[in-house]
Amino acid sequence: MAHFTKATSVKDWLNQRLAIEKVEKVMASEYWIPKNINFLWAMGMVLAITFALLLVSGIFLLMYYQPDVKDAFYSVNYTIMRDVDFGWLWRHVHGVAASVVFLIIYIHMFTGIYYGSYKKGREMIWVSGMLLFVTFSAEAFSGYMLPWGQMSYWAGMVITNIFSLGGLHLDGLVEWIRGDYVPAQAFLTRFFMLHVLLLPLAIMGLIGLHFAALRIPHVNNQDGEEIDFNAESKKYLAGDKAGSKVIRFANDFMSKDLMVVGVFLIFFFYLVFFNYGFALDPVNFDPADGLKTPAHIYPEWYFLWSYEILRPFSVNIGLIAFGFAQVIFVLLPWLDRSPNAVPASRRGAFSIWFWVLLIDMIVLTAMGKLPPEGMFSTIGLVAAILFIALWIALPFITKNEKKV
């Protein structure tokens, strides 16, 4: 047994038992972050805050929500929105945060792609991040079922039908996932379970993995500079704060993070109170009706680009293209053959690739929502083919890149 002495203070008492000083050093004051970063590096903290908002608002919604096909819509739209004091606030925060979290995820992701933050030992950061993207997507989808409105029902119908895998006709698998021939009680209750327990657990585990993956390779910086963290941190501790290339996580980096969070929260709460229609789709305020398809069915905006890759093709090719789009991002660290871990602006052809991909995904997003008719169909098809072509071209583009 370890040796304990009479504690001189509460801190000392805790220190003997939990080594809080050491933990504080490892996690905060001597967790070294490069100084050469911009506000895009704060997106991780913004995501953590948004996740916290989702968790807290979700807890309060959970206290009044009824996962029953007869009562779900009422419990959300009457009980929570009208009866429960500030119930509307939790719902708006939850709905808007669920949408905004994807905006930040996309910014975070494209920041990583632009600065090459998935290379040279940072592959696991990228992979765990993409796994988080997938679980967040599943979390968003399962949560979207819960109000049991028209969009919940029909999105549930369309998305679970994807699992029949086109020409394979795995109707049994679809019925197994739903627990019924159509989305009904069994479907709602199991998606409720996924949304409030299994997926949040997975997300929290993956967030731990994502943070852990950062420790050894350290955070990238905006010039792709290789920093000797040992030497630079010694310099900092010796008092040359201005000359050192690194800063402490707390309070140095955190103060900048929280400044960005402050600006983000203004934007976020503006959306929550005054511009929430994009996140709380009007169609979902009609109760679910299995015998009436809404005039337009579209997923939430953050799924539109992959939905549009599914749509313009015949069913089997569409599914293959869709599957391709789901996994291809994970493989980025290996598809990028270039040795350079520097910003895209210094990488020639890759820089063009980056901007074309970004614009192509925005085009796909727009076409995914617009009705699939006439010109929109054509643009969607071209954009979908371009998306696939870009990824196939990536290894060839990057292979010939000169070392900078």
Partner 1 sequence: MHNSSRRGFMGKAFGAVAGVGAVGSLVAMKKTWDPLPSVKAAGFTTLDMSIYKEGELVTEKWRGKPIFVLKKTAEMVASQTESQKARDIVVGDSHFMLAIGLCTHLGCIPGYNAAEKSFLCACHGGMFNWAGEVTKVPPPRAFDIPPFKIEGNKIILGEAGPEYKAMKDSGITL
Partner 2 sequence: MKNKEPLILVVVVAFTLLTYWLVEPYAHSVMHKHVESQNFAYADLAPFTKTGDAVNGKALVTGAAACTGCHSITKDGIPASVDAVSAAQTYGVNPPDLSNAGAIYDAKFLADLIKNPAHALKVEHKFDASKGQAHPMVAFYGAGGDIEQEVADMVAYIQKIAVKPSEVTPKMAYENACGRCHAVSYEKWTQIGEKPSFKFEKDSLAFDIKVLEYQDSLTKYMGKLPPDLSMYIRSRGEHYISTFMENPQAHLEGTAMPRVGVTADAAHKVIEYLEDAGDTKRHERESVGKMVLIYSVIFAILALLWKKQVWRDLH
CA–CA dist 18, 21 (Å, integer): 9
Judged by CB under 8 A, does residue 226 bind partner 1? no
Q: Which partner in partner 1, partner 2, none is near 294 (CB below 5 to 8 A by kind)?
A: partner 1
Q: Rounded distance, CA 8 to CA 400, Å? A: 64
Does residue 77 belong to the site contacting partner 2 (CB under 8 A)? yes
Cα torsion 268, 269, 272, 275: sign: negative
Q: What is the DSSP string of 368-391?
A: HHS-S-HHHHHHHHHHHHHHHHHH
> Residue 32 — φ and ψ, nearest 5°?
-95, 135
Instruction: For residue 246, give the amino acid letter.
Output: V
Rule CB under 8 A: choose which of 121, 167, 208, 243 binds partner 1: 167
**Of 10 and 295, which has the nearer Cβ to partner 2?**
295
Q: Is 108 in the site for partner 2 (CB under 8 A)?
A: no
Q: Does 358 bind partner 2 (CB under 8 A)?
A: yes
User: Would you list the DSSP string of 172-210?
Assistant: HHHHHHHTSSSS-HHHHHHHHHIIIIIHHHHHHHHHHHH
Closer residue to partner 2 (CB): 13 or 285: 285
Using the minimum distance from each CB to partner 2, give the nearer residue, 78 or 396. Answer: 78
d(CA 80, CA 302): 26
**Does 78 engage in binding with partner 2 (CB under 8 A)?**
yes
Q: What stretch of H or E contains 105?
A: helix 87-114
Q: Rule CB under 8 A: say whether 166 interacts with partner 1.
A: yes
**CA pair distance 40, 28, nearest whole angstrom:** 20
Q: Does 184 bind partner 1 (CB under 8 A)?
A: yes
Q: Which is nearer to partner 1, 118 or 153 (CB)?
A: 153
Q: Using the rule CB under 8 A, is 371 a contact of partner 2?
A: yes
Candidates 34-42, 157-165, 192-200, 392-400: pick the segment binding partner 2 (CB under 8 A): 34-42
The pair of three-digit structure tokens given for residue 22, joined into one six-digit string: 């050491």
Q: State the Cα–Cα distance between residues 113 and 106, nearest whole angstrom.
A: 10
**How far, in Å, CA of 99 to CA of 139, rounded?**
12
Residue 151 Cβ vs partner 1, minimum distance, rounded to whole Å: 12
223 binds partner 1, rule: CB under 8 A: no
Q: State the Cα–Cα distance between residues 57 and 39, nearest whole angstrom.
A: 27
Q: Does 176 sit near partner 2 (CB under 8 A)?
A: no
According to CB under 8 A, which one of 255, 316, 378, 400 is a site residue for partner 1?
A: 316
8 A C-beta contact, residue 402 and residue 337: no
Phi, psi of 33 (to 5 degrees): -120, 140
Q: Does 313 bind partner 1 (CB under 8 A)?
A: yes
In sequence order, the β-bridge partners of residue 125 are none
**Residues in binding contact with partner 1, number by CB under 8 A:** 37
Cβ-based nearer residue to partner 1, 159 or 328: 159
Residue 370 binds what, of partner 1, partner 2, none (CB under 5 to 8 Å, by partner type)? Answer: partner 2
Question: Taking CB under 8 A as the rule, does residue 68 contact partner 2?
Answer: no
The residue from 86, 355, 371, 399 that contacts partner 1 (CB under 8 A) is: 371
Beta partners for 32? 248
Size of the chain, expressed as the number of residues it contains: 404
> Minimum distance between the CB of residue 17 and partner 2, rounded to whole angstroms?
31
Q: How distant, in Å, are the alpha carbons of 88, 131, 326, 389 from that of 331?
A: 41, 12, 10, 15
**At 317, which amino acid appears?**
I
Q: Which of 230, 293, 345, 378 binds partner 1 (CB under 8 A)?
A: 293
Instruction: Give the helix/strand (H/E) hosting 138.
Output: helix 123-145
From the list 8, 172, 274, 291, which residue makes contact with partner 2 (rule: CB under 8 A)?
Answer: 274
Q: How far is the CB of 172 from partner 1 (least distance, A)?
A: 10
Stretch that binds partner 1, among 30-38, 42-50, 290-298, 334-342 (CB under 8 A): 290-298
In terms of C-beta density within 10 A (0-12 exposed, 13-18 middle, 19 or more buried), how is residue 3 classed? exposed
The footprint of partner 2 (CB under 8 A) covers 35-36, 38-40, 77-78, 81-82, 88-89, 92, 103, 107, 222, 241-242, 247, 251-252, 255-256, 258-259, 261-263, 265-266, 269-270, 272-274, 277-278, 280, 282-287, 295-296, 301, 304, 358, 362, 365-366, 369-371
Q: Binding residues for partner 1, per CB under 8 A?
A: 154, 157-158, 161-162, 166-167, 169, 175-182, 184, 186, 190, 290-297, 311, 313-316, 318, 371-373, 377
